Structure 1
Amino acid sequence: MFSYSQGHRIRHSRDKKAELSSIDFSEFESFVQHVLSCRKVPGAGIAMVKDNRVLYTEGFGLADIKSRKKATRHTKFCIGSLTKAFTSTLLARLLSQKDNIDWDTPIKDILKENFRLSDDLRTKHVNLRDVLAHKVGIPENFHALLVGFSEDVTREDFVRRLQFIPATKWFRSKFFYSNYMYTLAGYVAEVIGGKNWETLVQESLLIPLRMHNTGFVDQLDNRNDLASPYVLLNGSLTEVDRQLTLSVHPAGPAGSIYSTPVDMSKWILFHLNRGNDPNGRSIVSEEWLNETYNVQMPQPVSSKDLYRPQFPIDKVVIGYNMGWATSVYRGFRKIWHSGGIVTYTSHLWLFPEKNIGVFVTFNGPLSDESSYAMEAIISRAADLLLEEEPWMNLTTACSFPSPWRQAKDPRLPCDEKAHKWNISRSHVDYIGVYGHLAFGNISVSTENEKELTLRFGRFGEMNIWPVSETRFHGRYTGSLWFITGSQDNVDPIEIDFVTSEAGDIDGLLFPVDFKSNKTLFERDLILNSDKKWHIRNSQFKKMKQFTRKLVNETRPITEKRIDVVKEILRLKVNEVMPMYFHLTVSEVF
């Protein structure tokens, strides 16, 4: 059993309760206020739990600068990838109720003919353990989620598109973080549970745990209920569009949950109390829940790891679990995760052996300052509950990583006036629609014949200018302006146009995954509202080159799979995802 109180500082009367309530939070609160000020963090929420009791829930700073609305323990913050633990916990509950499915059951056996990845090996063998531990080898491709998929793309549609995303690492060989795989995991939960992921999370976890102020940001009716998100621009906090939180669709199982410090204290209690609700009733089998805490995939050494003697303490990542990671902090096993969406940042740390949990969340800014502030505040909270001497003071909390490691210098946006059309090739040559089977359309257009505008996804809009005839740089101008125009986020987006042997522009290479090679978008490959791809005004030889990339080499194109009807050449790519590729053939014969 555990107890819960709505008070922001929980006070009890005697014995162990008195010992817990004797913690003086006033010094901690002064520390937090100081760090938020020096790091220019607008608002924060904090929850602390120890020995199955909520010790502290509070808000700091401002939820909205313009209205001067204060952040409280009931303020809603987006928690980003802390959502992943909700997905893995939900699956632990669902699997515990099944006799014929477990973590190692191939997903193909669950989804049947509706599932395929980019190669036969992964398609046949990938399981929930692989997906939840980031072992599949498929790139993050975060840029496509950043700009947002079309709102008419369902989770089922999204999963079907996964077959067109090539893996770049050997299967089960390396940790490769992927929101796409968590979306797949959420879809598997839907198939097993018979309801959509949101309903399953609500009914299985949020309602039993009385997390009444927790929900899904892409389903939130009034986005003004959220703490406003902020970035730093020229040293000042600037609000960004809360509508950007909609970009999480349809990848909700990877990061769509919003919550409050009070509700997250209940989530911590649930995990520290071995999967039980406030009345001690089991919500999730302890055996199945424990598996989500175990390391499944070792992680490489991180630049964010802290080691003695350079730092006063050790904080080292060991590996990734399922919706959680495992680290060692000051000699203690730490089960944790971080989360970020738009400019919101959150961390949740659990110390199971000490029965301690800490949650910290910010509403900005998207900068190194926010990361350093998070390190200072959550470490201080953990030290307080662990009864360890704090390793950061008021000075080092505002200088971190200095004096132990040199901090990066702040970077300012470059001068937009320097961008000119400095090549002989016409704007017109680049105008058109470029498509990808998984990521959709990118359009390039012009309104004044002096500059090009690139549009990608729901929110992506940027001006692009030439560095050479094939290489362009882009800077976001719409709601996502801060991705290339705020403090610590100043690098332009690099885009390459691909030319044919004849010199025609027939493709665009876009950094869908910020960390690896660019992805090719084919010119005139357009995904229409009927979800069929259309290739227009192309030559037949180009279509043959294109289809070779789509069709498995073991299943070559045959005359039976191609036919001409009313001058439209149709190719059925495969039986898993029936799509017809239409090519005008006026120049074919």
Structure 2
Amino acid sequence: MAEYMKFHLGAYRNDGSNNPVVDAEILREMYKPNQAINLFTAFLEIDGLDDLQETWRIYDYGMGFWIGNYRETDLVQHGGYGPHNTLLTLFEYWNISIYTTINGPLDLESHATMSFIHFYIADILRGNSPIFGIGYACEYNLPSKAGSFCGPFNVYPDYSIDKTKNSTSPIETYIGTYIKGDDEVEIKIDAVTPNLVMVKGCEEYILYPDGEAHSFVVESTGECLGCAKGVVFTGLPESASFEGFSSLSIDGVRFRNLKISSASESECDQL
């Protein structure tokens, strides 16, 4: 792995070294921004680390690397989740590369934990005062407010979905805004294709009828943690003045049509 890091770090720094395996110019294409992302923005609001927003940012995606900066230097990163979790960080200006692999915690918690450790090590190597103690990284728990993470990644279509089935009702009857507490889901028609689109926070899905009445399978348009799998529209309100469905369920979690909620609140106000 040390040789692999040196393999990339020379090309990333563009230090003029020759690479006998892959042309360094080709490698450098991997580190160039390809699309903007908002990955890991929740980590910038961690309690007690108010200055972290000014020191750690991930804002672009290249050809296999997240791109950002830490303090005064640019960095590229990527990792993997599975039975064990890994992270590789290259610091261009500092000429430092760090790799870690751990068997816990999992998923985004592992990325945050290892990022903190990488920054701590880089600070020590550079003679800087670490922004936070290493103990914080070792005891780190991902805040519940982080929720899902999303980014406008290019993803491959889900070929397991049968996209030839027709919806039970005209797709216009499904559109609307559905709420559950502070959570909000918008169902709309795609501007380009005749498909239903569901937007939930920063997540976006295309809805395809699955053959059951008012039931859809969903395909994410970007990476997310705990992606939705199915949507079912249920119920028609008793009021004849309302057209549409009273609620939808996302993987069993029910959201109520905002128009019905608003109508009920107006009636209460009148009383």
TM-score for the superposition, normalised by structure 1: 0.24
More helix by share: 1
Pair member with larger Rg: 1
More strand by share: 2
Q: Which has the higher contact order (CA 8 A, sep 6+)?
A: 1
